[in-house]
């Protein structure tokens, strides 16, 4: 599928919000196996400067994982908005961990230990089951997670790409985007969000509701992270060309 030719252009009055896995970075067999392409960090840093600092990474990853990949100088909404940190390191919001998650950890650890190619990602505010290396295990692990979570109505099960997110309700990437938009340097700008799966849909919707635009990798970029990176690069090059002719 070709990239959609009708994508909006970024402008200096935008606030840019980016998902990581499946949007900026290609998936790998395990979360720690992803590769940051050469030049991506410089691209994001230059976009951040152009946008007056209004660039944030919104991810299901732990904050430590985001920082290991991209450093600590970008604003970040970690674990689907459960933890928000500004680019200067200030904590903007932090959700209380849900104790119900503890009841799922041991049986899920045992389940992935018994199923080669699967793994359990344990985070402060949630859990993620991965089966990219063992796709036949998807139904079995999803059913198990459903049974374990059933006695805990506060927990949500959200399908992702070759994975299942298990986390408390009450926060999502849409609420994270909105929280950033209430604060400088994001406030007063037009939000632009790019994501790739069901956990990104709340932020896509919220960006649209706030007068900006929410973009989806499959629907708007032909399903490739390279197309997303190309679009970001093209916007920066357009800005630099405009500066040169001003």
What three-state secondary structure class fits 58? strand
Q: How far is CA 96 from the centre of its chain?
A: 20
Are residues 61 and 31 in contact, defined by beta-carbon separation less than 8 angstroms?
yes
Give the active site residue among 19, 21, 172, 220.
Answer: 19
Is 88 an annotated catalytic residue?
Answer: no
For residue 120, CA distances in Å to 37, 104, 110, 115, 182 come to: 26, 11, 10, 11, 34
Q: What's the CA gap between 194 and 207, in Å, rounded? A: 10
Rg from Cα positions in the chain = 18
Q: Residue 195's beta-bridge partner residues?
A: 216
Catalytic residue positions, numbered? 19
């Amino acid at each position: 599928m070709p990239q959609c030719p009708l994508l909006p252009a970024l402008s200096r009055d935008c606030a840019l919000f980016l998902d990581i896995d499946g949007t900026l970075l290609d998936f790998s067999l395990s979360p720690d196996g992803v590769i940051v392409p050469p030049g991506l960090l410089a691209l994001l840093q230059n976009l951040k400067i152009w946008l007056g600092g209004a660039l944030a990474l919104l991810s299901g990853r732990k904050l430590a994982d985001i920082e290991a990949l991209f450093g600590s100088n970008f604003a970040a909404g970690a674990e689907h908005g459960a933890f928000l940190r500004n680019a200067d390191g200030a904590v903007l919001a932090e959700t209380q961990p849900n104790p119900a998650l503890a009841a799922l950890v041991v049986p899920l650890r045992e389940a992935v230990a018994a199923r080669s190619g699967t793994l359990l990602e344990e985070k402060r505010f949630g859990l993620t089951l991965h089966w990219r290396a063992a796709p036949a295990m998807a139904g079995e692990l999803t059913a198990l997670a459903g049974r374990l979570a059933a006695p805990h109505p506060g927990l949500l099960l959200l399908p992702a790409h070759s994975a299942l997110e298990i986390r408390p309700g009450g926060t999502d990437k849409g609420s994270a985007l909105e929280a950033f938009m209430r604060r400088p340097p994001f406030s007063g700008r037009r939000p632009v969000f790019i994501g790739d799966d069901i956990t990104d849909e709340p932020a896509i919707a919220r960006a649209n509701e706030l007068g900006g635009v929410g973009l989806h990798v499959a629907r708007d970029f032909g399903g490739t992270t390279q197309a997303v990176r190309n679009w970001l690069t093209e916007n920066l090059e357009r800005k630099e060309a405009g500066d040169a002719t001003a």
